[in-house]
C-alpha cells in the first residue's frame, strides 16, 4: 500500500522570494493549519531556506510575509531598478570592493521570526538547507537530526544557518558558522528539489513511487538574451541587469523542473510565474519598492487562483505528515 511522502522545495531569488511566501501564506490561510503539517520534508535555498526554517519552526506564513513586506526596503533597497547605463555603471563601481548590503537587518528580521537561541534540533519538522562551505571548498547541506547519523547540526542556531544559505556573493558578506565560512546555497542548488528527493530515498527510506514534490519558484525561471546584446560581454556586460545571476538561477531551476517533471510526472507540482517583459524592467533580486511588492504579491495571488481547486494541490493538503521525533532534541519545543 502506498504511503504518501510530501516534499516542499523552495527556490532562492533574493527579494523575489516574497512571491514564494505570499503563495504559501495564501495557501496556509486556505488550509487552516500550519502548512508544514502537510509536508514530511521541507527544503529551501537562500531566501527559500529562510522561509523553510521558519515554516519548520511553525512560524505562520503570514507572519513571514509581513516581515518581508515590512523590512524588505531595510534589508535591500527602496530604490527602483536602475535602467540607465550610467547609473548601473556607477552602482557597479560603488560596490566593486564590498558587498552591497549590511546583513544586520536581515539577521534582525530572521531573529524576530525564529528567535536568537532556537537550534536546528528544536525545529518541529524535517528540513534541509544547502550552502557552500568556502573553508572546505565543497557544498554543505544543513539538516535537522532526522537520521541517526545526523549529529553535526542539531546544536547550531537557526539564525546562523539562515544567514549562511543567504550569503549571496556581492550582495551580502560571507557568513561564518562554527569557524567555517559559507556562501549562498544557490551557487549549486538554487532549486533544492533533487537534494530533497535524494534525502527522502537514501536517508529516510521512502519508495520513489510514494514521493510527491511541490516546488515553488521566485519568478526567476526565465532568461534570454537579444542578439543586440552582443557576444563579447565583459564584467560590466554580465553585471548589467543582473544578467549573470539571472542565468545561474534560471538555468538551475529549469533543469530541475524538467528532470523532476520527467521522473515524477503528475506527482511533481511546480508553482511559479514568469515575469512579463514590462515587469522585468521593474523587478530585481534586491528591489523592495512598494510597486515591486504589489507586483510580486499580485503574481502570487494569480498562481494561487490558478491552482487552488486542482486535484494536484488538494492532494498535498489532504495529507497530514507525522511529526518527527528527533533524537537528542534540545528542548521541549517539539512537545508544545
Q: Where are the domains of the chain?
A: 5-329
Active site residues: 46, 184
pLDDT of residue 94: 66
CB distance 43 to 9 below 8 Å? yes
**DSSP letter assigned to residue 169:** T
Kindly tell me if the per-residue pLDDT of 334 is higher than 50: no
* Band of pLDDT at residue 221, cut at 50, 70 and 90: low
Closest listed residue to residue 95, CA positions, set 77, 110, 112, 108: 77
Q: Return the percent helix, strand and coil in the chain, to nearest 5.
A: 50, 15, 40
Higher-scoring residue by pLDDT: 236, 334:
236
Q: Which residue has the cell 511533481?
A: 268
Higher-scoring residue by pLDDT: 232, 136:
136
What is the chain's mean pLDDT, rounded? Answer: 90
* Helical segments of 95-153, H only: 104-114
Residue 32 CA to chain centroid, in angstroms? 23
pLDDT in tens, 114-167: 999 999 999 999 999 999 999 999 999 999 999 988 989 999 999 999 999 999
Kindly tell me if the per-residue pLDDT of 286 is higher than 60: yes
Kindly tell me if the per-residue pLDDT of 229 is higher than 70: no
Question: Which sign, positive or negative, has the C-alpha torsion 182, 14, 216, 156?
Answer: positive
CATH number of 5-329: 3.40.1090.10
Kindly tell me if the per-residue pLDDT of 48 is higher than 60: yes
pLDDT in tens, 158-207: 999 999 999 999 899 999 999 999 999 999 999 999 999 999 999 999 99
* Band of pLDDT at residue 232, cut at 50, 70 and 90: confident
* Band of pLDDT at residue 87, cut at 50, 70 and 90: low
Regarding pTM above 0.85, the answer is yes
Who contacts 277 (Cβ-Cβ below 8 Å, separation ≥6)?
none
Amino acid at each position: 500500500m502506498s504511503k504518501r511522502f510530501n516534499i516542499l522545495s523552495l527556490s532562492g531569488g533574493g527579494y523575489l522570494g516574497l512571491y514564494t511566501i505570499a503563495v504559501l501564506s495564501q495557501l496556509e490561510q486556505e488550509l487552516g493549519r500550519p502548512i508544514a503539517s502537510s509536508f514530511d520534508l521541507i527544503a529551501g535555498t537562500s531566501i527559500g531556506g529562510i522561509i523553510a526554517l521558519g515554516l519548520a519552526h511553525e512560524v505562520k506564513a503570514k507572519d513571514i510575509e509581513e516581515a518581508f513586506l515590512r523590512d524588505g526596503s531595510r534589508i535591500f533597497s527602496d530604490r527602483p531598478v536602475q535602467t540607465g547605463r550610467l547609473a548601473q555603471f556607477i552602482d557597479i563601481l560603488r560596490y566593486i570592493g564590498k558587498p552591497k548590503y549590511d546583513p544586520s537587518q536581515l539577521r534582525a528580521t530572521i531573529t524576530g521570526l525564529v528567535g536568537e537561541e532556537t537550534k536546528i534540533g528544536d525545529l518541529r519538522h524535517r528540513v534541509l538547507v544547502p550552502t557552500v562551505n568556502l573553508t572546505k571548498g565543497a557544498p554543505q547541506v544543513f539538516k535537522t537530526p532526522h537520521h541517526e547519523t545526523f549529529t553535526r547540526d542539531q546544536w547550531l542556531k537557526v539564525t546562523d544557518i539562515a544567514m549562511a544559505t543567504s550569503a549571496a556573493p556581492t550582495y551580502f558578506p560571507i557568513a561564518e558558522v562554527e569557524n567555517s565560512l559559507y556562501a549562498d546555497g544557490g551557487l549549486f542548488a538554487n532549486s533544492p528539489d533533487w537534494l530533497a528527493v535524494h534525502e527522502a530515498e537514501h536517508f529516510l527510506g521512502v519508495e520513489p513511487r510514494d514521493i510527491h514534490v511541490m516546488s515553488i519558484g521566485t519568478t526567476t525561471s526565465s532568461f534570454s538574451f537579444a542578439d543586440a546584446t552582443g557576444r563579447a560581454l565583459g564584467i560590466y556586460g554580465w553585471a548589467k541587469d543582473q544578467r549573470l545571476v539571472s542565468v545561474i538561477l534560471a538555468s538551475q531551476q529549469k533543469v530541475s523542473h524538467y528532470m523532476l517533471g520527467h521522473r515524477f510526472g503528475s506527482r511533481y507540482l511546480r508553482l511559479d510565474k514568469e515575469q512579463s517583459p514590462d515587469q522585468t524592467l521593474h523587478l530585481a533580486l534586491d528591489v523592495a519598492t512598494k510597486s515591486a511588492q504589489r507586483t510580486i504579491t499580485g503574481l502570487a495571488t494569480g498562481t494561487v487562483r490558478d491552482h487552488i481547486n486542482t486535484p494536484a494541490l488538494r492532494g498535498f493538503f489532504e495529507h497530514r505528515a507525522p511529526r518527527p521525533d528527533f533524537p537528542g532534541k534540545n528542548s521541549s519545543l517539539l512537545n508544545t
